[in-house]
Each structure stands twice: as structure tokens, then as C-alpha cells.
Amino acid sequence: MEPLDHLERFLYRVSGAQATVEAPRCLRAHSGLSECDLCVKSCPVQSIDLRGGVHVLSHCTGCGVCLAVCPVSAFDLSGAAPGQLLSHAASVLRRGGSLSITCERSADVASADLVLPCLAGLDETVVLGALALGAQKISLTRSPCGACPYTEAMPRYRRTLDRMHRWSRVIPGAAERIVEVGEGEESPEKSQGSRTVGPDRRAFFAWVRSEGMQLMASFLDDFSEGLHGRRSVEGVPLPLRNRLLPYILKKLGVGEEEIPYDPEGPCAELLLDEIKCNGCEACVRICPTKAIVRGEDEEVFRLALEVNRCVNCALCLDACIPNALTYRQGLSLSAVMGKPKVLVEKPYRRCSRCEARFLWSEGVESEGFCSTCHFLADLERSPTIPGPDGAGGAAPDVSQREKEQDVEAGQDADM
């Protein structure tokens, strides 16, 4: 490796080889219901502690896996964040049609376009974004993992790769554009002399000085604000992958296709049982990215889901007391790109007994009562209630019992 190689690698990671975490963004900080521990389970060196909040410990090696698994992008790592990688990929692809990605322990690191600390930290948004930017071939080179300290993280990489292949099967012409290349091998484009960032280090530094940050800002603005419409709702941070995904899919010409639901995927669709739903709006209040939206009609209860804003965290499922919410076992790509999807829409009624407003579901016999009054009506119609000895007795006359209590209270006052 030439001196400039070492210098670039130093500058690439100079701001700190360790990951950092924005603790207030963590799901556990957002809600006490959250038991999310994806970062802990995925960290190959056990350098994340969730006691008393989320903390990165001093023995963090900067592998970057936590960045890829966190649903709300609470972690950051200089040089390995998806936005930085996409900005770098955009610069590479303006000079050629291929993009090579490898890990820092690979023998091919000097000629690679993107070098990650570990491929297990690769976010599929980087690959999909590169396809949208015009990549004709994306080569993933994985070094032998036997002696690597991140071996435990490799199952994560395999799952991410499988998910990328599922995405590519529904993207026109993408399936053959994502390939794994053995260490030491050359992709067809490399053998034909396609220019890469690796050999031209001085050009890389010139790009960083002249246009790198400007390109990054333009990339984010065009993708997430101009084309998607907004970056966040009421200041709630939305992960970059969720901001970019709708535009990337539109750019790639995706239509009505769908992929299977993936618990580690960037977003998800919800299904809501409107008979079970009691309109408590707990799901609306607990959603960290405001993906579930409450309608403003006073006569109709309406909930809608912005699919691209859903980060697949399952907090709404945990908060739903009647268990009315479930994950749909598929993800419609048109829903990711489209308007909010209506989850439930049903009218309000006035209880004929207590005048309280309640939700009415078609097909449910309520006699015009709210759930509380419906229960009381059933109780009053009950023929018998078991007595202390187990024998049945007549249902108590509530009004008579109240009179008896008044008499007893008067007797106590006389005494």
C-alpha cells in the first residue's frame, strides 16, 4: 500500500475509529415499552451497553454494524455512514459505470471504490442508491473471515445480501448488476480499464476539497426534501434510508411489485383489525417517526400509515392493548412510494345510555351502547350470580342495594 493509501485511510477515519451514539434518538429513550437490543446482539465485540441508557464502550473497534441495524439511526461512524458512502459512490459513478465495495481487511482495498470497516455494516440503501445513480455493476468483495475479529457479524452481512437480492429481483434489470467477487478477482468492468478512485488518490482529495460536501448536501436535499416532500414531521428525525427509499424506487422504475416482510428491513406495512381497535391512539403517540397519522375528521375515526416513515421498530404493536395491529407479511413497493395507506376508517356513535362517543364497527351488535354500557347491560340481564356457597342466586337489584346502603349510613350517623 502506498503512502497516500495510508494517508487517505487515516483521514477517512481520523475523526474517530469508534462509533458514537445520539442517545435521545434510541428507541429505549423514546419509550419505556421498548426492549430493542439489536445493537447489542449485532455488535461482534460486545462494546454497547444498555444499562442506564445506550453507551458505546471504549473497546469499540468501529466495525459499523450498529449503524446498519439501528431502526432509528441513532449511531454514527465517520466515513461509514450511509450518506457519506452514497456521496462517495456518486462521485465514482460519474467517472464510470461500476462500483466496487470491500472491507478494510481485504487484499483488494487499494483498488476498491468504497471501503467499509466490515461488510456486515453495509446498508442496502447504499446499494440501491448506487443502482439509482446509474451503476451497471456493483461488486462486493469479501475477504476471508477466519481470522477477522468481526466473524460473528457475518451472518448479518449474509442476511443483508439476501435482502438486496430480493430487492434486485423486483427492480428492472438489477438482478445481474449486483455480484459477489472473490478476493483477488477482477470484475469485468475493472478488467476493461474502468477508472476507480483507488489508484487516483490525488483526484480523491481534490474532489473532497472542491465538491464533496456540496455534492452531499445537494444529494440529501434533492432526494429527501425536494423529491420526497419533507425531511421530518414536527422535528421527529427520520433515518436517511427511509427518506431516500421512495425516490430511489421511483428512479429505478419500480411499479406494483412487492417483497416479503423482513424483520430487519428498513420499513414495513401494518394491518389493523378495526373490530379490535378501540381508538385509543396509543400507536399514534408512541410512533417515533410519526408514521401513523390520525385523521382530523370529527365524525370519523381514521388512521393512516406512511409506509416509508415506518422504521419497523414494533413499538406500536407493543403499545396496542387490544392487539389490533400486526405486520403485513409483505411490503408493497408502491405503498413505500405512494400516499399514506388507510389502516382504519369507521364512524363515531353516541351511546344511547351514557351519551359518550364511541367507535362503531359494522357487523358488531352493540345495541347502540358503548363498550362499558354494553357490559353493564349484559350484567343486568344475567339471570344468576354465584353466591358465597357456590349456589346460584338472583341478580342483585342495584337500586335496592343503594337504598339499603343509605339506610345503613343513616343508622351509623344516629349512633
Which pLDDT score is estimated for 78? 84
- CATH 3.30.70.20 range(s) for the chain read 17-77
Q: And the C-alpha cell for 398? A: 342495584
φ, ψ for residue 408, nearest 5 deg: -65, -40
CATH code for the part of the protein at 17-77: 3.30.70.20
Q: Name residue 348's beta-bridge partners.
A: 359
Task: Return left, alpha or beta for 290; rule: phi > 0 is left, psi -120 to 50 is alpha, else beta.
Answer: left
Q: Determine the pLDDT at residue 271.
A: 96
What do you get for the CA distance between the two ends of the chain, in Å? 101
Closest CA to 313 of 255, 251, 265: 265
pLDDT given at position 150: 76
The pTM of the full predicted model, rounded to 2 decimals, is 0.72
Specify the pLDDT at position 314: 94
At 227 the pLDDT is 38
Strand partners, 344: 303
Q: Give the pLDDT confidence score for residue 210 in this predicted structure.
A: 44
Give me the CATH code for the 264-350 domain, please: 3.30.70.3270
Q: Which amino acid is it at 32?
A: G
Query: 141 - beta bridge partners?
Result: 102, 181
**Residues of the chain scoring pLDDT < 50:** 1-16, 188-233, 235, 398
Q: What is the pLDDT of residue 152?
A: 79
Can you give the pLDDT at residue 376? 85
Q: What is the pLDDT of residue 153?
A: 81
For CATH 3.30.70.3270, list the domain ranges present in the chain.
264-350
**Cell numbers placing 73:** 439511526
